[in-house]
Structure formats: C-alpha cells, structure tokens
Structure 1
Amino acid sequence: MDNNVYVVKGMTCSGCMAKVTNAVTSVAGVDDVDVDITTGEVTVLSDAPVDDRLVRAAINQAGYEVAS
C-alpha cells in the first residue's frame, strides 16, 4: 500500500476535515484518507500510485492550500 502525506494549510475544524477528505477521496485510485487537523497532515492511502497533481488540485478546489 502506498502512503503519501501532504501538509495542508487552513484546516481548523471538523468541517474542514470533511471537505478535504471528500475532495481527496474523489481522486481516482485513492482508497482512504486520514486527516489530522492538529498537524495539518493529510495521508492518502492507495494500493496503486495516485497522481500527485490530482490530489493537490482536489485540495485546492476544496479551498485549501498544500504547503510546499
């Protein structure tokens, strides 16, 4: 299983967590998403490689920014 971790800026509540989770889950190949509001870490779990650009775009479209 592949794990990719992204640090996302601007998440402050469970609503933020749900928006990011729903957005990233919609990306092809994503099996599960774990969001830690405290650290801003979003862990993407998948059995196959997931396109990093699509994950970043989904997070941006949800209204959040991935830290570089």
Structure 2
Amino acid sequence: MSATVIKATGLTCNHCAMSVSEELQEIENVKDVNVEVVAGGESTVTIDHEGELDDAAVEAAVKEAGYELVK
C-alpha cells in the first residue's frame, strides 16, 4: 500500500474533513483517507491507496467537496 499526501484549502472543521474524505474514498484504489484540518490555512490530506492514484480524480473529488487543492 502507498500513501499520497496533498494539501487543500478552505477546510474549517470536522464536517469539512468528512466531506473531503467521503469524496476521495469514491476513487478507485483508495483504501483510507486521513484529514488534518488547519482552519484558515492548508489542511493536510493523507490518502492510502493500492496501485496508481489518478491525480485528476483527486483534484475533482476535492473540488466536488467544495475545496481547493494546493498545487
């Protein structure tokens, strides 16, 4: 299993973290998601997955949840 760490902005609470986590867990190969919320800053999102992770799908999932991926 591999882990990919991304940063996202706009998250302010646990509900935000759950929204991002739920969207990311819909992506193929994703096994678990851990979100560390930094209100007003860049939150850290750790995605545990098997095989390759589709970067475009990750960005789309974060946007679908209502937040922005930091590039």
TM-score (norm 1): 0.93
Shift of 1:13: 0.3
Shift of 1:42: 0.5
Q: Distance in 2 between matches of 1:49 and 1:3?
A: 10
Q: Distance in 1 between matches of 2:70 and 2:58?
A: 13
Shift of 1:22: 0.3
Q: Provide structure 1 residue ranges, at least 5 long, that are not aligned to the other structure.
A: none
- The range that moved more, 7-16 or 46-55, is 46-55
What RMSD in Å do the two structures reach over aligned CA positions?
Answer: 1.0
- In structure 2, the partner of 1:10 is 10
1:20-52: CA deviation from partner (whole Å, max 9, x where unpaired) = 000001111100001000350101101211111
TM-score (norm 2): 0.89
Aligned residues: 68
Name the structure with the higher strand share: 2
